[in-house]
Structures are given as C-alpha cells and as structure tokens.
Amino acid sequence: MISRLFVLFIIVISICFPSVSIADQRNDPREQAISDTLDLWREGKYEQMYNLLSHRGSMNRERFVSMLRDASLTPSCCHLKLNDFKLINEKRTTSKVFAKIGMEGLSMTNSSHSREFTLDHEEGRWKMRLADIKAIAGKSKNKKKK
C-alpha cells in the first residue's frame, strides 16, 4: 500500500511539475552549448565563460571579464533565456543556428535578441563565438538598432 502511494505521489509530482529539472537539458548539442554559455554569463562566471568561446581574437580574459561586468544586459532566466532554436546550416566544424535570446537589464525589464549565431566545434564541443556575445551584450563596434 505504501509503495503504491509513493508511486502515485511521484506520478502526480511529475505531471504537475514537468519543467522542474536538475539542469537545463537541451536535445541539440549546439543548443546546449548556447544555454550553458548563457548560464555562466547570468551567474557572473565570466572567466569560465571565456574558456567556452571560440574566435576570441585579440580580446584577452581580463578585458572580456571587464566588458561583461560593465554590460547593462544579462541573459534572462529559465524559459525566457533561449527559445526558437533552429539549425540553419551544419558543417563538420561550424554550424549556423537561429535563436531568440532573452535579455534583461537596468534600462529595460525584458527584451530579446533574435538572430543567427555561428558555433564552432573545437576541443570536442560546440562553442559560441565571442563576437556573438559582444553583439547581444550591446558591446559590438557595429551596433544594430531595432
């Protein structure tokens, strides 16, 4: 009897709270790479985030950390963080994807950036490019106005 109640309890909990999970798990490894990068940004783990980026160019770790600390935008939490993910083009070491990234900041409560991202497969995992992070943080040289 107790085991049946326990099973019933587990079923009810899983039906009522389907989105509760230990980690944000995505089906596509490229989508997971974006999600992981945005989580590190939101948590303020900029040095770890820097290690997960490709095409860092001349920007060193210290400048990157300073840039994100000074940014007025950060990724939104939870279900607002990453939506509408679509694979556009896939090659062996690069992929183009489309995603809607939820952002929040001082001057606005919530906004989003819908755009294409290029991901690179390096060191056995997919990585976002630093230029894409700068663009959604509002720190790129060629800011696009909406």
pLDDT digits (tens, 9 = 90+) for 129-146: 999 999 998 876 554 443
Listed residue (138, 143, 36, 34) closest to 95, CA to CA: 34
The angle subtended at Cα 143 by Cα 140 and Cα 146, nearest 5°, is: 140
For 119, other C-beta atoms within 10 Å of its C-beta total 25
The single-letter DSSP state of residue 121 is: E
Judging by beta carbons within 10 Å of its beta carbon (0-12, 13-18, 19+), is residue 74 exposed, middle or buried? middle
CATH architecture of 29-137: Roll (3.10)
What residues in the chain have per-residue pLDDT under 70? Answer: 3-24, 106-110, 140-146
pTM recorded for the entire structure: 0.76
